[in-house]
Amino acid sequence: MSHPLSRLARRVAYASTQLPRMAWYAGHLYMMRRLAEQARQEERERPRPKPRSDPRLDQRLNGDMAALLEQDLANVEAGVYPLPADHDGSLLTLLERSRLFFRDLPEVHARRKRNATREVRNAKTRGLRPDYYLQNFHFQSDGWLTEESADRYDTQVEVLFKGTANAMRRQALPPLAEAFAGRDQRKLRLIDIGCGTGRFIDFVKQVWPRLPTLGLDLSEAYIRHARRHLKRWSRVNLLVANAEAIPAPDNSCDAVTSIFMLHELPPKVRRTVMGEAARVLKSGGRLILMDSLQLGDEPDYDGMLERFPQLYHEPYYKSYLREDFPAIARRCGLAHRHDIKAYVSKVMVFDKNAAS
Ligand SMILES: C[S@@+](CC[C@H](N)C(=O)[O-])C[C@H]1O[C@@H](n2cnc3c(N)ncnc32)[C@H](O)[C@@H]1O
């Protein structure tokens, strides 16, 4: 048991990093909504019918957000992971990211208005990436294809989740700790598919600095960004690769993770990717998928989840909401263990060839 004073110091340290972070991104969200409203007025557009405000839903969301932070801190106190370092960079870096974010908003607004979702599919890109990938997801500028998109991504995600995206990602660490308990990290292998800018791998390395870790992503620009972000760590390999064909031998790896990616894949590709994860896992290995809640997980949220793709271009989200992941996993030889809810997301845990 830790001394009550060190417990208090830990709580203060946690609050002093996480709360200002949340205030920063919640402030961005507030400003973003005001600017969008202003733009609509200037364009003399019919005001978008405001979703009926539902104080009960807001209260539930706030409660679940608080529960996420409590859980994050409880995991630290239980020694599952150290006090998290979000590695957001200096104040100057944060301001620069903020500038990039706000400067891009008019483009996103215009794209949303035109419902322009395929700008990145052109003569130069066609054939270089799968067709489903060449889209302006969330009406983002440049799709997944440029340095600028990679530089904006983390701000965009944190703004969407009011500064809790990293805390949600960290909820994938406890089932990983369970799988790795008592084992020599240097002899284990982890693959994170669709690793993006590397934020989840950063948290993995904060717990297991000597764990050989492979991050895969289809975007060259995001992989370059991840290399810069993760340069403080050794034993990290980052590759441009398609999760539909994971560049690893059969039965070679102890854990596969994927964070916030599955909702962006068409149903057929989701199945291929889960089959690939199952193929590269050793017997007894663990697959951890973290993504949005689905319909029925929290019935109060169903309406909000159904509305989400109307504002953000998410062509496969509707099918994601109804996807039966345990059934897909079963067909790949993976047994569904349990889910962990984390605010508006959840972590799904599967084991290969495990007696259920
Ligand atoms: C919403 S982002 C999530 C990124 C990151 N995991 C995170 O925690 O933020 C989805 C990522 O999946 C990548 N992606 C999409 N389809 C892919 C595929 N078939 N193979 C590899 N990466 C893919 C995209 O390039 C993008 O970086």
> How do the pLDDT tens digits run along the chain, 356 residues long?
577 778 899 999 999 999 999 999 999 999 999 998 888 888 776 656 666 678 889 999 999 999 999 999 999 999 999 999 999 999 999 999 999 999 999 999 889 888 989 888 888 888 889 999 999 998 999 999 999 999 999 999 999 999 999 999 999 999 999 999 999 999 999 999 999 999 999 999 999 999 999 999 999 999 999 999 999 999 999 999 999 999 999 999 999 999 999 999 999 999 999 999 999 999 999 999 999 999 999 999 999 999 998 888 889 999 999 999 999 999 999 999 999 999 999 999 999 987 54
Conformation bin of residue 44: beta by default, left when phi > 0, alpha when psi is -120 to 50: left
Helix, strand, coil share of the chain (percent; to 5): 55, 15, 35
Tokens found for residue 98:
């903020």
Q: Work out which ligand 1 atom sits closest to the CA atom of 243.
A: 20
CA distance 176 to 197: 20
Which protein residue's CA is at the shortest distance from atom 10 of ligand 1?
A: 261
H-run or E-run covering 100? helix 91-114
Residue nearest to atom 11 of ligand 1 (CA): 194
Check if 134 has its Cβ closer than 6 Å to any atom of ligand 1: no
Task: Tell whether ligand 1 has an atom less than 6 A from the beta carbon of residue 198.
Answer: no
113, two tokens? 């208005």
Please report the pLDDT score of residue 3 as a whole number.
78
Q: Is 169 in the pocket of ligand 1 (CB under 6 A)?
A: yes
Q: Which atom of ligand 1 is nearest to the CA of 144?
A: 25
Q: What is the pLDDT of residue 54?
A: 83
Handedness of CA 87, 93, 94, 98 (dihedral sign): negative
Ligand 1 near 144 CB (within 6 A): yes
Per-residue tokens: 250:
């059969």
Return the best residue to mutate from 153, 218, 242, 262 for the ligand 1 pocket (most ligand atoms within 8 A of CB): 218
Q: Ligand 1: does its nearest atom lie under 6 Å from the Cβ of 133?
A: yes
CB of 226 shorter than 6 A to ligand 1? no
The model's pTM? 0.95
pLDDT score at 132: 94
pLDDT of residue 355: 56
CA 144 to ligand 1 center in whole angstroms: 8
Q: Whose CA is nearest to atom 4 of ligand 1?
A: 196
Ligand 1 atom closest to Cα of 195? Answer: 6
Ligand 1, atom 14, lies closest to the CA of 194
> What is the rounded CA–CA span in Å between residue 151 and residue 153?
6
Q: Which atom of ligand 1 is nearest to the CA of 198?
A: 5
Is 288 close to ligand 1, i.e. is its CB under 6 Å away? no
